[in-house]
A and B are shown apart, each in its own frame.
Chain A
Amino acid sequence: MNVSGRLQRVVERALAESIDVHTMTTLARRLFGSYDLNERTGFPKSLVIPNKNAAGQIVRDIREKGLFLDFVTLLIEIHEVGLKGRKYRIPYLREIVNELKKEGLVFDEATRMFFEDPGLRKSRDWGVLREGLEYFFTFLRVDIVGNTDLVRRNSSEAVQNTYEYLRGNVQGTVERRNGRIWNWEGDGGLAVFHFSNMENRAALCAMEILNELYIYNLTQCELNDPLSVRIAVHCGPCEYRKCPDELNGETIKSVNELESKRTKTNAITFSGILCRGLSPIIVERLERVSDDGYGVCYSYEIRWEN
């Protein structure tokens, strides 16, 4: 991300005017692991480093390492929540957030994280992920049931419109919950969620896709038979890759298997590990699927009163 000179100066001032050098160093170590301020500034250990110098050095180093956003997030955290039981009043925070907004980043109060402003950009990495690094994601895999038959038994125009509908429905639902489509093949694809509460966002997205599909089949579907899908949701670690072809790993394999081998038509399968993070309002409606060697998982489908 682009850090303007103005933004850097405001953060330096905020740091220098609110925190002592020792605490500044603690914050830097939270991000760098180890950090020797004396070594970085050139001040010998026998001398007290002035606040302004310390702040300037830390912010420059943080900017160089691409950790600027993480540092600002940390400042907001110690301002609102505190550090080791003590809150620090950080000045100019509103100004800092506004400057970041001009760079296309917004602060989400609920998750306490910066996202790229979806009104300006919806990039694959939310503007913050780094290539090759491992992160924890929640994946949603959706696929049309019986696609080969569907193509054979319907006009190409109806099939094309159906694919467009599905893509639009899934993409809209996913992006409304700050998810991203990482891969799409026409008859299905892979969506991904990151940041706080991603398990619930992904699960609710899957449920909404099914709800909208029900309405679509009632009112708009042009196919000879109703459109059917299978959806699977699973979470786990994965290396971030810009190129969809390079996406792989155990988590992605698991969600693909969950969808293709363990999911009924017009149903969602949630992995056991994902369900641990789900709201009770969702969990109470899930049915446990027997463990057939793949691990426990849970199923959801729309069921009607008699």
Chain B
Amino acid sequence: MHVLLFTNGRHVQKAFSPFLRSRGARLDVHPVSGFAKVLRGSEDAAFVYVDISGCGEGAIETFVRSLKKAGISFGFIDPKDKVKDVALLFHRGASDYVGGKALRRGVSAERVKRAQREKGSHALSAEAKTPRATRPAASKTPAAGKDASALDHSGRRTRPERKSGAKRGGTPQELSWAAIEEGKEYSFCFMYVELDDIAELRKSIGDKQIDLTIRAFREYLDRLIAQGGGKTWMWNDFSGVALFPFDGSQCDAVLPCIRMVLARRVFSAEFAFLNTLISFRIALHIGNTVYRRKGETGTIVSDAVNSVFHLGRRFAHPGNFYITGGVYDCTPDCLKTCFRPAGEFEGNRVYRMRLPL
């Protein structure tokens, strides 16, 4: 059995000594920084372990997405037991989690085989895991019209078309935050989000309650954005922009935003301090920008950033979620059913999500 281990720690590598004693066991150890490159060339690996010491939620999410795309069973190693919600890793497709105690006992071949048998939610055939509307039977014929690139067996375009002037930053596995460098231009999905009516609420309810609500909302937003592989990039009082690396094929920001809209009442009852349903608007748009770290974005000049701000501030109605045509085209078919055409704005088609009451 061929296992890939990504770790920078020798003690983690040593923990696999029991595994190596098994007949036919093969363990290739690589530093975590080489994850994207090594994974691309390792289709014969039966299982992948990634040491997530020192990794934040965004990096873990990137590993999850890359491994799911590669279709390899995987597990995480957490020597210092930093992960608070281990179940979430399994929900996202992991088949194994090795905490500090289990690591000290050692990782055996039996454990790896068991984990591989568990498979996790991703390691079923690509057919089963593809959102239903893009199953293989529908996708064997290349799509007609503008988007004439061939579709692979999972329903994805094999040669991503440029969307709204989007530039490909590299192959999908390389478009992780680890690969993004300051000062260089990349394609992103931009997410504008704004809390509605805050100025009026400040007058009627007072600053303290509003500030508590904004803080709770930001923590909630950061969590959801990180789960989708994004990062909050700009924030000013009650509105801001998040970035999601865009690989030219699928926009990963749509699902977290749908989740936010669905969960509005739950969030309002649980975390907001206003005793009323909070209202927020969201706008998604794809485009390019030079990447600068959070806090150093004052000199950014980008049409895409301007567009998403205009869409959010001038077009969007309170409480609504909008996506531009480029985002819509890169949304899985199963999620497109949530949206309705909402006209045009600054040369872009706009779609609006049907709202839960």
Binding site for B on A (CB under 8 A): 119, 157-158, 161, 164-165, 168-169, 171-172, 175-176, 200, 204, 207-208, 211, 214-215, 218-222, 279-282, 285, 302-305
Cβ-neighbour of A207 out of B258, B266, B276, B335 (below 8 A): B266
Binding site for A on B (CB under 8 A): 81, 84-85, 87-88, 90-91, 121, 124, 128-129, 131-132, 255, 258-259, 262-263, 265-266, 268-270, 275-277, 332, 334-335, 337-338, 354-357
The 10 closest A-B pairs by CB, nearest first: A281-B269, A211-B262, A279-B269, A303-B357, A172-B87, A218-B334, A305-B355, A204-B266, A281-B268, A219-B131
Is B87 within 8 A of A219, CB to CB?
A: no
A303 to B275, CA, bound (A): 22
A280 to B272, CA, bound (A): 13
Chain A residues whose CB sits within 8 angstroms of the CB of B91 once the complex forms? 168-169, 172
Cβ-neighbour of A218 out of B268, B337, B354 (below 8 A): B337
Given A220-B129, A281-B277, A282-B269, are A304 and B357 neighbors across the interface (CB < 8 Å)?
yes
A158 to B121, CA, bound (A): 11
A196 to B277, CA, bound (A): 22
B258's closest neighbor in chain A, by CB?
Answer: A215
Given A219-B334, A220-B121, A305-B357, are A172 and B266 neighbors across the interface (CB < 8 Å)?
no
Chain A residues whose CB sits within 8 angstroms of the CB of B277 once the complex forms? 281
Chain B residues whose CB sits within 8 angstroms of the CB of A279 once the complex forms? 269, 275
Is B132 within 8 A of A161, CB to CB?
A: no
Is B85 within 8 A of A172, CB to CB?
A: yes
Is A204 within 8 A of B357, CB to CB?
A: no
A175 to B337, CA, bound (A): 32
A211's closest neighbor in chain B, by CB?
Answer: B262
Chain B residues whose CB sits within 8 angstroms of the CB of A208 once the complex forms? 263, 266
Is B124 within 8 A of A204, CB to CB?
A: no
Is B128 within 8 A of A281, CB to CB?
A: no
Is B128 within 8 A of A222, CB to CB?
A: yes
Given A302-B356, A304-B355, A304-B357, are A219 and B332 neighbors across the interface (CB < 8 Å)?
yes
Chain B residues whose CB sits within 8 angstroms of the CB of A158 once the complex forms? 128
Chain A residues whose CB sits within 8 angstroms of the CB of B356 once the complex forms? 302-305
A304 to B131, CA, bound (A): 22
B263's closest neighbor in chain A, by CB?
Answer: A211
Cβ-neighbour of B266 out of A119, A168, A211, A222 (below 8 A): A211
Chain B residues whose CB sits within 8 angstroms of the CB of A165 once the complex forms? 121
A208's closest neighbor in chain B, by CB?
Answer: B266
Instruction: List 17 other contacts, CB 8 Å, given A218-B335, A281-B265, A305-B354.
Output: A119-B84, A161-B124, A168-B91, A172-B85, A172-B87, A200-B270, A207-B265, A208-B266, A218-B337, A219-B131, A219-B335, A220-B129, A220-B131, A279-B275, A282-B269, A285-B357, A302-B356
